[in-house]
Amino acid sequence: MRAKKQRVAAYGVCINDADEILLARWLGPKGKRWILPGGGIDHGEHPYDAVVREFEEETGYAVEVLRLIGIDSELREEFHRDYHALRIMYEVRIVGGELRNEVGGTTDLAQWHPVADVGQLERVPSLDTALGLYRTAPPSGILR
């Protein structure tokens, strides 16, 4: 029987008035790639609270959640096991704090990028999913 792992995480889409998106550079097993600020939900933690906590940890900004934009579910083989990533995606806006980089975490840089340039970045596929959900706001919360 194959090993199985499930990870539930919450991420925030933050786009400013200059049409820039705030991203974090993830230090993943395949190298550095851009990702939405966010991450794993602690046991007993609500996803809403998790995205606020993770966003501050990775960017320095305090945010408020504006809306749930959808959920991304991905099943893949990873390290000889079935890996199920469940990503809860929110639109957020900055309400305080100052931009800074995470130290000693899973990201090393927080930076604004023009939304129009996201396609040229080394990024995780879930970033494209999140932008699709943000733009289309499907009633089902699923991007097909």
CA–CA separation, 30 and 26 (whole Å):
10
pTM above threshold 0.75 = yes
- pLDDT for res 119: 97
Per-residue pLDDT of 40-66, as tens digits, reads: 999 999 999 999 999 999 999 999 999
What is the CB-side half-sphere exposure of residue 128 using CA atoms within 13 A? 9
Please name each of the domains of the chain with its CATH number: 3-136 (3.90.79.10)
- With CA atoms as reference, report the closest residue to 36 among 5, 3, 82, 70: 70
Per-residue pLDDT at 83: 86
In this prediction, residue 35 carries a pLDDT of 98
What value does the mean pLDDT take over residues 116-143? 95
Give the pLDDT of residue 144. Answer: 79
| C-alpha span between 16 and 22 (Å, rounded) | 8
| pLDDT number for residue 1 | 67
Q: Tens digits of per-residue pLDDT, 74-127?
A: 988 876 778 899 999 999 999 999 999 999 999 999 999 999 999 999 999 999
Predicted local confidence at residue 77, as pLDDT? 82
Give the Cα separation of 134 and 132 in Å (integer): 5
Position 80 scores a pLDDT of 75
- Do the beta carbons of residue 20 and residue 99 sit within 8 Å? no
Residue 37's closest CA among 5, 14, 19, 20? Answer: 14
Neighbour tally for 136: CB within 10 Å: 11
Q: For residue range 23-37, what is the model confidence (pLDDT) as tens digits? A: 999 999 889 999 999
